[in-house]
């Protein structure tokens, strides 16, 4: 994995903006789905699929690929959009989100779409799956062949199964496992700290023997630094606590928990796309000016 330079960061910023545009058009076409989480995680998914992951879109079952487990499956529009822009399938297919017979279901179905490691939906299950994969790698002597990434929401930290998996991963010192929490502070009914306070969240994971890194989830250098640091830790698993803005990129959507599970209507989608395209033009202009 090459280090990030200014040109690569500008490319990632432009792609993340395109991913956000795709999320809006997908949700509009579907007429249902989640808005805030996918927009907030666009930078992290863009980084992973365009730079951070060891993978091959033309050979999704490559044995030495990194594994990405999406625990909070409801944010799958960002997963699908990143995969499409990375070349797993045509971008036009994104418009089939949640349609009958589509490969792009409202929660990922691994048997329908090559490149998906797990089916997900019930919150709190992903980390258990990822811990099981990491334990299997140890048994097979393949801990050094690839890394396993588990992406979770902060709301699902309220699930007991997540705690059990966290303790098991720390107890077994699973060094090729990196978990990432989208710390956007919202869930479907409101703000996490009102519904079930999670803080001090980082300290809880440290107590389970995880190496914890806190970052700005919209800063590509910070994301890159955390992923590299995780790969350099050999005595325990790593948790990346990524602070993100739900609805990132569209001011009307940002930090409003009501957009957790609400798709935009035509007027709202047009407003969002206009804002994102304006931002995309600025990113492109800055890139041209610096080249």
Q: Structural domains in the chain?
A: 6-290 (3.40.50.970)
Task: Please write the tens of the pLDDT for every residue from 125-136.
Answer: 999 999 999 999
Closest CA to 212 of 243, 178, 184, 188: 178
Write out the two tokens for 269.
């989608």
The per-residue pLDDT for 288 is 60
The per-residue pLDDT for 121 is 78
Q: What is the mean pLDDT of residues 25-30?
A: 98
Spatial separation of the C-alpha atoms in residues 85 and 83, rounded to whole Å: 6
pTM to 2 decimal places? 0.96
Spatial separation of the C-alpha atoms in residues 213 and 180, rounded to whole Å: 9
SS3 233: coil
Chain centroid to CA 254: how far? 17
Q: What is the mean pLDDT of residues 35-48?
A: 98
Look at residue 287 and tell me whether its pLDDT is greater than 90: no
Residues 66-105, buried b or exposed e (16+ Cβ, 10 A)? bbbbbbbbbbbbbbbbbbbbbebbeeebbebbbeeebbbb
Task: Please write the tens of the pLDDT for every residue from 53-86.
Answer: 999 999 999 999 999 999 999 999 999 999 999 9
């Amino acid at each position: 994995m090459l280090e990030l330079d200014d040109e690569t960061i500008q490319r990632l910023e432009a792609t993340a903006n395109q991913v956000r545009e795709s999320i809006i058009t997908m949700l509009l076409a579907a007429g249902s789905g989640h808005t805030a989480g996918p927009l907030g995680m666009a930078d992290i998914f863009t980084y992973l699929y365009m730079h951070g992951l060891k993978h091959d879109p033309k050979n999704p079952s490559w044995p030495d690929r990194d594994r990405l487990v999406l625990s909070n499956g409801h944010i799958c529009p960002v997963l699908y959009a990143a995969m499409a822009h990375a070349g797993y399938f045509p971008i036009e297919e994104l418009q089939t989100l949640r349609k009958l017979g589509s490969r792009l279901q409202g929660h990922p179905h691994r048997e329908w779409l090559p490149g998906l490691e797990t089916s997900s939906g019930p919150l709190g299950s992903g980390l258990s799956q990822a811990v099981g994969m990491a334990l299997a790698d140890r048994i097979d002597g393949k801990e050094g062949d690839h890394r396993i990434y588990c992406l979770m929401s902060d709301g699902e930290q309220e699930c007991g199964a997540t705690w059990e998996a966290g303790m098991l991963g720390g107890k077994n010192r699973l060094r090729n496992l990196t978990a990432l929490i989208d710390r956007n502070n919202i869930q479907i009914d409101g703000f996490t700290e009102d519904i079930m306070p999670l803080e001090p969240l980082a300290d809880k994971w440290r107590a389970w023997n995880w190496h914890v890194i806190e970052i700005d989830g919209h800063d590509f250098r910070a994301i890159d630094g955390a992923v590299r640091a995780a790969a350099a830790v050999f005595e325990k698993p790593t948790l990346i606590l990524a602070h993100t803005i739900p609805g990132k990129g569209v001011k009307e959507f940002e930090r409003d928990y009501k957009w957790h599970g609400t798709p935009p209507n035509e007027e709202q989608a047009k407003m969002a796309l206009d804002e994102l395209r304006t931002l995309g033009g600025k990113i492109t202009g800055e890139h041209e000016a610096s080249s």
